[in-house]
Amino acid sequence: MDLEARVNHHYSELNENDMDIVSYILKNKRSVENMTITSLAKLTLTSKSSILRLAKKLGYSGYSEFKYDLRNQLKKDKNEEISVSFTDLQDNEIENTKKLFKQTELEPILEELHGAKRIFCYGTGWGQRDVLSNFNRCLIPLNKFPVLLSSLTEFEMVSHTITEEDLLIVVSLSGDIKEAKDVMQALEIRNIPILSITDLRNNGYASLATYNLYFQVNSFDYKEEEIVSLLPIYIATDLLYRKYTEYVMRLEQKELLI
């Protein structure tokens, strides 16, 4: 079982501090492979005991076994990279995104989506906003009319008007929260319901959200540039739309039986 699978399997046992450490490890696997537990604790602003507790939560006997497993995983990944094409990666992305979705406790998310007075959507890039535009269009027949925020400036301006009766949906590919950190923290302090839809390995936004959905993307190097497909994000939001449609249909069926 690779590290991502272990995180998914033990997700309910992990706290916010654990997820911050996991996020750092997943983004810096090559460096962590050769780190001492003291170095990792220092770089994640935690302690040796926090790292050890996390390793045990993930099913390892200790930090040494964790590093041994990570090293083997990296060797395996390197061998697969030699033979796997960008096209071949699609199956992996689809399968893992669907797996992550199935492992998510959806009922609270569906209830929040249904009960929200207003729904605001923010994508951290133009591609993410395209995904949200498609998602919003799908919700219209269900009498939901989300507001798509077209820029960070608009997000900052509108954030002051969002209340606890609303729902904010944030979609991020990179997970880099720096540009929107202040506004996200302000919303969290005000107990605004937030649903983040992010890559599991880049989850800065997820740490500040009330609910989380994850997808998996694999980058592919081309002329010293990393290229990715947005298909996994479309899949995650489409699955959410389909589940919400089923949720609404169940409610309507119950009303007919009353």
pLDDT at 224: 66
Domains, the chain, in order of start with CATH, read: 3-83 (1.10.10.10), 105-257 (3.40.50.10490)
Mean pLDDT confidence for 109-134:
95
- Stretch 51-63: mean pLDDT: 91
What is the C-alpha separation between 101 and 87, in angstroms, rounded?
22
User: Which pLDDT score is estimated for 179?
Assistant: 78
Averaged pLDDT score across all residues of the chain: 88
Mean pLDDT of 115-144: 95
20-24, 70-74, 139-143, 236-240: which range is least confident on average?
Answer: 70-74
> Looking at the chain, which runs of residues are DSSP E strands?
119-123, 147-149, 167-172, 194-199, 211-215, 220-222, 225-227
Structure tokens at 242: 């389909």
**Percent of the chain whose predicted confidence (pLDDT) is above 70:** 92
pLDDT at 77: 64
Its pTM surpasses 0.85: no
Residue 82 banded pLDDT, cuts 50, 70, 90: very low
